Structure 1
Amino acid sequence: MAIINSKVKPFAAQAYLNGKFVPVTDADLKGKWSIFFFYPADFTFVCPTELGDMADVYPEFQKMGVEVYSVSTDTHFTHKAWHDASDTIKKINYPMIGDPTGAITRAFDVMIEEEGLALRGTFVVNPEGEIKIAEIHDLGIGRDATELLRKVKAAQYIAAHPGEVCPAKWQEGGETLKPSLDLVGKI
């Protein structure tokens, strides 16, 4: 079954957030846009560059009403230790979910079973709990939070404007398309 337009499966987890351990469940997603940002492990190499990049762009996501959840198969205790040890990770103000059982990672189909680690998976979830964007990278390929910001703006735009679609490289305020018989073969 395709993951696009599927509902996020029920889950309950602990996260590290701003000096506290906090519970996070699928119920927290209802009524707002969310990003699940899976990464292999704390105390690694590409992961802090991605999480730091996301921390830099996080205020923009917040302005758009989007919550970011980073997820790895580490525990929330490990997230705290990494936060305390790394200047890059200290910048993070979004929940860092611990998934030591791998239940959430498997639910999003990004578990590397033989290693017990997550692939680099990015999932954008709408306020109804449906996955609207899914992107999965191999471990050595880092992601760009600014490009993700553009994609989330496009997802929010088309959700608010039924009948319109965003073409390649669409930027906020740019022209959209209204699919119709008149456009067939004209683009």
Structure 2
Amino acid sequence: MKNVILSVGSAFPEFKKTAVVSIEKGKEFYELSSEELKSSGKWMVMFWWPKDFTFVCPTEIAEFNKHAQDFTDRDAILIGASTDSEFVHAAWRRDHEDLRGLQFPMLADTSKSLATELGILEVNEKVAYRATYIVDPEGIVRWVSLYDLSVGRNVKEVLRVLDALQTDELCPCNWNKGEATLAV
């Protein structure tokens, strides 16, 4: 059975999940909901990785963290997610030097319900593909990127696409923030 991936123009699914937001004892967990995100009036960038305590995943998570302020500057809320539990996320953050100072939540989709609604579960292992969603302030998916389990994504490309979407104009191939858009 093949996945049907939630795509551009679709409403991002509603959810309420536990996220890891800190490694400080007693402040590790936070209940994050789509309702809260939508009421913020901000863009959302949610990126998924297959498994905690692996090899490619922390390189991506650390790179997103290096650019966390860039997302904030663009009025976007950055969220990382996988199907691992909040306890595994917390242990990984404490264990991995590059993950201790994360500036965004690590969402735990242990029921795999959100990953299933998004259509991003790998068929055999039932872990999430490396998916990235850019969602506008109204909750509509504006960009989806999906990578095989073995290939890391490019965070600068996510930022470039977010910039282009936020212009609300026509942006040519390889367009970057500050360059001219297309006149119609």
- Using the size of structure 1 for normalisation, the TM-score is 0.89
Separation in 2, partners of 1:105, 1:84:
25
Deviations 1:94-116 (A, max 9, x none): 01000111111111110113212
Work out the CA distance in 1 between the residues paired with 2:15 and 2:82. 14
1:73 paired to 2:83? yes
Matches within 5 A, 1:113-152: 113-152=123-162
Which ranges in structure 2 are unaligned for 5 or more consecutive residues? none
- Where do 4+ consecutive residues of structure 1 move more than 4 Å? none
Number of equivalenced pairs: 174
Percentage of pairs with the same residue: 32
Matches within 5 A, 1:33-52: 33-52=43-62
Structure label with greater radius of gyration: 1
Give the counterpart of 1:24 among 28, 32, 56: 32
**Deviations 1:120-172 (CA, angstroms, capped at 9, x unpaired):** 000000000000010000011101111211111111111xxxxx301111111
Q: Aligned equivalents of 1:119 and 1:56: distance in 2?
A: 22
- Give the AA of the match of 1:17: V
1:171 to 170, 173, 176: 176
Query: Match of 2:11?
Result: 7
Code of the aligned partner of 1:11:
F
> Structure 1 CA distance, aligned partners of 2:179 and 2:51?
38
The 1-side partners of 2:109 and 2:63 are apart by 22
Q: Paired residue for 1:182? A: none
What's the secondary structure of 2:67's corresponding residue?
A: helix
Q: How many Å separate the matches in 1 of 2:101 and 2:62?
A: 7
**SS of structure 2 residue aligned to 1:111:** coil
Q: CA RMSD in A?
A: 1.2
Distance 2:8 2:80 in 1: 19
Compute the TM-score of the two structures, normalised by the length of structure 2: 0.91
Q: Quote how far apart the aligned CAs of 1:89 are.
A: 1.1
1:153 equivalenced with 2:153 (yes/no): no
**Alignment gaps of 5+ in structure 1:** 159-163, 180-187
1:129, 1:66 → 2: CA distance? 12
